[in-house]
Amino acid sequence: MDATNTIRTPLLVSQICSRWRETALATPRLWSRLYLQFTSTSFNLTELVQTWLTRSGGCPLTIYVFWEEPPFTPSHPVLDALTAHSERWQSMFFYMPYHAFKSLAPIRKRLPLLTTLSLGTKDDPPPSSSLIGKLDMFSDAPLLRSLESVNISPLIFKFPWSHLRTIPMMAVSSDDFIDILLQTSHLEQGGFVFMDSGMMYGMGSVYSPHLRVQHNSLREVSIMTPPWNETVDLRGLFPQLTFPKLEFLQICNLRSPFSSEFTGFLSRLGCLQTLHLRKTALTDSQLIQGLKTIPTLTKLIVYSAPLQAPTVTHSLLSAMTWRPLLNVENGAANGGRRKPQRQRQNLLPALKSLELTIDYNVCDTFIEMVRSRVQFTSADSAGLNGGTPLSKDLPARLEKIRIRPTEDLGDRIYTALAEVASYGVEISVEDFC
């Protein structure tokens, strides 16, 4: 969505010739989208907006509003024009000064079609907790399913939380997060930027360190921090959460320490299929303990930041190397019979896709791990521990590998990767920095 697609293209089509103009004017959907940027001269937009609103007839509207430059006034003629047609709002994006949201008050109970809403501001958050729930213009939106808030607490507004299915991105504190989970019983996907581990806006109304939340609808969750505060401490949050239906978990830019409670959190994710860790402070030993609790995982992504202590180490890769259950002699205690044994627990039996940051020092261990999950031959497996492998004890075959090297891995490693690819594995290697 930009001005070219929503403004220039319809105008161009209508100016080709009289026949094209007639066709364009007879196509309301062509005029049902707008991308607007308010500037010092944007009051001239009012006539254009009125034209689009007229030509779009009764079509549902998709409109993006960006108000980032002065002058900043309590309202704006374009907002007034849009408000008059709120019954047709379907997908709306407002990024504007905090005080300007108050000018949308007339839309209350006039949002029958609104399904997607995104709100944002670059203003500092309001200081007073007395503002919680004061803005109620969006409280009655029966079809609202997707809600996003950028740098503004969603708890300032009243929303039909129980209707929501998706939260693409939302700025929260820990107590805001708990409050929202308790109100969104049908939420399936959520992306949350934790601005602070405590009360960011002083608006959390239900937070308790002893409160436990089990959310039975969530399928995807992303946990992030802003670039200016990557050390938000969430150790106290993980013990409170249980997501039994969660299939996708992403944690990004969380540089604060993890604790043993994180392993307990992972153990309560009985359906998890994808774990994506990007630029976190999770240690290799903590990740190993966590992976022991999620045998359902089919995709693992671990990306480290430059100058960060690596999570992908010899220890992690060795722990991920598949050691088949072997028939070995157990001596006279078993009458000379062969008894299946294994030295340790294998991790991730269902793993099919793997993306890692690796350096040259761990390459040999990485190749050994990959081969153990790709080359299922008696000789290869027997070479690991000595013995005959049991075919029923094999892991899922790796199908896709993506590598983000921190340095040149050398011809020997690339040759080994080519050998792995010959087994039908899709392998991609990013350029190293």
Q: Give the separation between CA 67 and CA 42, rounded to whole angstroms.
A: 10
Question: What's the CA angle centered on 93, arms 91 and 99, to 5 degrees?
Answer: 135
- Summarize pLDDT for 130-145 with one digit per residue, the tens: 566 689 999 999 999 9
Would the pLDDT of 379 be above 80?
no
Q: Give the separation between CA 211 and CA 240, rounded to whole angstroms.
A: 6
Give pTM, 2 decimals. 0.86
Q: Give the separation between CA 228 and CA 160, rounded to whole angstroms.
A: 31
- Across the chain, mean pLDDT equals 86
Report CA torsion sign: 159, 162, 163, 168: positive
Whether 168 maps to a domain, the answer reads no
The count of domains in the chain is 1
Assess contact for 22 and 53: CB atoms under 8 A: no
- Summarize pLDDT for 211-251 with one digit per residue, the tens: 789 999 999 999 999 988 999 999 999 999 999 999 999 99
Residue 107 sits at φ, ψ, to 5 deg, of -80, -5
Average pLDDT over residues 51-72: 91
Assess contact for 264 and 240: CB atoms under 8 A: no
Whether 116 maps to a domain, the answer reads yes
- Summarize pLDDT for 333-349 with one digit per residue, the tens: 455 555 555 556 899 99
Confidence of residue 25 (pLDDT cuts 50, 70, 90): confident
Burial of 255: CB neighbours in 10 Å, binned 0-12, 13-18, 19+: middle
Whether 63 maps to a domain, the answer reads yes
Burial of 344: CB neighbours in 10 Å, binned 0-12, 13-18, 19+: exposed
Whether 23 maps to a domain, the answer reads yes
Whether 114 maps to a domain, the answer reads yes
Whether 228 maps to a domain, the answer reads no
Whether 70 maps to a domain, the answer reads yes
Question: What's the CA angle centered on 292, arms 287 and 293, to 5 degrees?
Answer: 100
Task: Give the residues across from 93 on adjacent strands.
Answer: 64, 118
What residue numbers bound the domain in which 41 lies? 1-124+132-156
What would the DSSP string read from start to end of 344-383?
Answer: SPPP-TT--EEEEEE-GGGHHHHHHHHHHTT---HHHHHH
Question: What's the CA angle centered on 180, arms 176 and 183, to 5 degrees?
Answer: 145
* Predicted local confidence at residue 339, as pLDDT: 57
Average pLDDT over residues 104-132: 84
Closest CA to 17 of 5, 28, 25: 25
Whether 404 maps to a domain, the answer reads no
